[in-house]
Amino acid sequence: AAMRHLPYFCRGEVVKGFGRGSKELGIPTANFSEQVVESFPSDMSTGIYYGWACVGNGDVHKMVLSIGWNPFYKNIKKSVETHIIHTFKDDFYGEILSIVITGYIRPEKNFDSVEALISAIQEDIEEAKRQLDLPEHLKLKEDNFFHLPEGKTVNNH
């Protein structure tokens, strides 16, 4: 169920999350709106994925993404959050984020401590970086999807 829909193309506005303090952990996650999340296949597994991301018509960067249960909606709705593996000068709330999800890393997990959570995410990031250098994932970085007009919302290819 995790891999069936991949590669998965998605584009939407970056909205305010629910302040879990991702940025304070050094791992900010750009959240998609509820509407974009609802457009995801309902049988796409929660968990950690990786792929490519681009803000507005900027450069395409590696990313890790979580599809998780959204605590703000008492875990009956999902959230989709993208951590772009790049250091940005400024926040980009309100901008259009384009992503292609190319691979799956692991299911969602609970961690006993913030330290354990951070080190798991660091491992996810290293895994994503390695996988994305392989030809089958690297080729999607150059996909035409990233060069389509910004305003156009495309949730599937």
Q: Which residues are known catalytic residues?
A: 81
Contact range with ligand ADP by CB under 6 A, out of 20-28, 108-116, 132-140, 144-152: 20-28
User: Nearest to residue 65, comparing CAs of 101, 37, 11?
Assistant: 101
Cα end-to-end distance, the chain, whole Å: 18
23 part of the interface to ligand ADP, by CB under 6 A: yes
Taking the least distance from each CB to ligand ADP, the nearer of 74 and 89 is 89
* Residue 91 partner contact from ligand ADP, Mg ion, none using kind-dependent CB cut-offs of 5 to 8 Å: ligand ADP
12 part of the interface to Mg ion, by CB under 5 A: no
82 part of the interface to Mg ion, by CB under 5 A: no
Judge whether 28 and 80 are in contact, CB under 8 Å. Answer: no
Judge whether 11 and 154 are in contact, CB under 8 Å. Answer: yes
What x-and-dash track marks residues 21-60 binding Mg ion by CB under 5 A? Answer: -x------x-x-----------------------------
131 part of the interface to Mg ion, by CB under 5 A: no
d(CA 98, CA 60): 9
Q: What is the pairing mode between strands 60-69 and 47-55?
A: antiparallel
Q: In the chain, what's the furthest Cα-to-Cα distance?
A: 44
Residue ranges that bind ligand ADP, judged by CB under 6 A = 14, 16-19, 22-23, 28-31, 82-84, 86, 88, 91-93
